[in-house]
Copies of this chain bind each other. A is one copy, B any other.
Amino acid sequence: MDKVKYAVIGLGFFGEVHADVLSGMPDVDLVALCTRRPHRLKEVAERYGVSKTYTDYRELLKDPEVEAVSVVTHVNDHRDIAVDALKAGKHVFLEKPMAATVEDCDAIIKAADSSKGGLMVGHICRFDPRVSLAKAAVEEGRIGRIVSMHATRNLPKDLTAQPRVLDSISPLMGDGIHDTDIMLWLTKSKVKTVYAQNVRVRDFKYPDIGWAMYRFDNDAVGVIEVVWFLPENTPYTIDARMEIIGTEGAIYIDAGNAGITINDKEGLHKPDTIYWPAVHDMRIGALRTELSYFVNCVKKGVKPTVITPEESKMAVAVMCAAEESAATGKVVNM
């Protein structure tokens, strides 16, 4: 069996999780890493035994050995890196959101259309078994036509302050996009109107709280809640829930509660068992499933179909409309 030669660009917290997962996959050879910070680059490369390191992603893209890359950088850098990687013929796994603007998404899609490399944006929730089982149930007609949805994706206030996440991205664009993508996926419909409200509590670039209400073409209402400001004593890392009500049934997802609560001297904890937990030193979970799917597409030479670039762009478009509504106080028609 041939292994896919893989590189990771961007080595913040989540870039390293990518590296960790990839280094444990039997059909992947993690061959190169890239970050602008030399010290960090050395540290992560040593941890995972990666020999090739780059501080300039353009140099990495010149390496003919590299077949596929994970792009795990700030969203504002997505456009340039993704376009360049696709032009270099690499298969690109791009973290969400696809890009900061619809124009940037268009540029990336254009580059993908003329590249031999495939492109997939990391809407990880589509590989969360709870969400994919919900999708399967909807497709089987078990809940009929969807008429109302509500998604919560709330984080404790410390998590969004250290490092200063809220200087980097807004709650709606950062987390609301997950549930917006899920709603678009489940309904297979388009958003017709968007109304949103932001609430600013602390002194960051972006507000602490975002709410959005969508009306879909299929007549459903979808409501997005992102409170990046839960109390310090919140007993979970994330409060992520979704309620999907259809004409024939309903689905309830509680993604912040995967069945374990640890009560120790520091308080209550509900550790992640779904996204990227480690079991006996193996990184398992949705990220691994997602990367496995992407790697399989690379190996088979097919374009990913579970998530398409057009879908990823649509989620960005809706979030941009939500931010516009929150800024103007008006309803935005799409």
Residues from chain B with Cβ under 8 Å of A256 in the complex? 259
The 6 closest A-B pairs by CB, nearest first: A26-B27, A129-B273, A249-B264, A130-B260, A142-B264, A129-B277
Q: Decide yes or no whether A235 CB sits under 8 A from chain B.
A: yes
Which residue of B has the minimal Cβ distance to A234? B263
Specify the main secondary structure of chain A where it touches its partner.
mixed
Binds B, one of A14-22, A36-44, A48-56, A217-225: A217-225
0 or 1 for each of A282-307: is its CB under 8 Å from B? (1 = yes) = 10110001001100000000000010
* Subset of 28 A-B contacts with CB under 8 Å: A25-B26, A26-B26, A27-B27, A127-B279, A127-B280, A129-B284, A132-B280, A133-B271, A147-B229, A150-B225, A152-B243, A195-B195, A199-B220, A213-B223, A223-B225, A231-B245, A233-B263, A233-B268, A234-B263, A235-B268, A249-B263, A250-B262, A255-B259, A256-B259, A268-B268, A282-B289, A282-B293, A330-B331
Q: Any chain B CB within 8 A of the CB of A327?
A: no
Say how far A264's CB is from chain B's closest CB, in angstroms: 4
In the bound complex, do residue B199 and residue A264 qualify as a contact, i.e. CB atoms below 8 Å apart?
Answer: no
CB within 8 Å of B: which residues of A?
1, 3, 25-27, 127, 129-130, 132-134, 137, 142-143, 147-148, 150, 152, 154, 193, 195, 197, 199, 201, 208-209, 211, 213, 215, 219-221, 223, 225, 227, 229-235, 243, 245-268, 271, 273-274, 277, 279-280, 282, 284-285, 289, 292-293, 306, 329-331
